[in-house]
Amino acid sequence: MICKKCGREYADDMFNCLWCDAPNEHHVPPEVPETVDISEVLDVQQHVDNIILSRIPEEHRELDEEGEAKVAKHPAGNFMWCAAILGAGAYAIFLVPFYVAFFHRKEILKKSSMLKFIGAYVSSMAAFTILMNILDLKKLIEKLPLHGNSASILQAFTTLVQALVYLLLCGYTSAFIMKRLAPDYSAEDYAKCSKAATLFAVPAMILSYLLEQYIK
């Protein structure tokens, strides 16, 4: 390529002249989008929602405009802290739904049943657990050509990330099901039950952990 500005030669695939920095009119750099919508590439939340929704009783899946509005304004929001805290303990997949259903039993029983809540939670978390086992990152790490302590550090980090993901799923799944099975929950009543459930979640989590150690 001969530069039109300085007349010197440079490689055809360069964006600018090597000598005077004049632009190469025959080699325009590709346009880069200003923003990248990650949801278009990996719509993780939609996949998670679909898994939980498929486990909820059919009569609670399809909602009209009024139902959608109730879900959007539900006091549970998108996360239940008591479920996430208890999820850190042993046997969480079985303890969490009974624990949450117990503290919110009055409202759940108005529109649904305790078994529906427990069944939807257990089957949803079981599905997530199976997926996490299929995507076994530890085995993938073992196949990487890592040396020294790199593999151990990466495995420890992966274990931590998987644990955090599991806790987030506990809180998110509980809130998602609660919004569907108890759509008319008042903010005041929910706040009272939620505070009590969160307060007792810490000792409950510790007890479940001690129980696991005793059984071992």
Answer yes or no: is pLDDT of 15 > 80: no
167-176: per-residue pLDDT in tens?
Answer: 999 999 999 9
Answer yes or no: is pLDDT of 190 > 50: yes
Most confident of the ranges 19-28, 29-38, 94-103: 94-103
Confidence (pLDDT) at 159: 82
49-98: per-residue pLDDT in tens?
Answer: 899 999 998 888 888 888 889 999 999 999 999 999 998 887 777 889 99
Percent of the chain with pLDDT over 90: 40
- Structure-token match 């495995």, residue found: 155
Burial 187-202 (b: 16+ CB within 10 A, else e): eeebeebbeebbebbe
Contact 71, 149 (CB under 8 A): no
- Higher-pLDDT residue of 56 and 148 is 56
Give the amino acid at 206. Answer: I
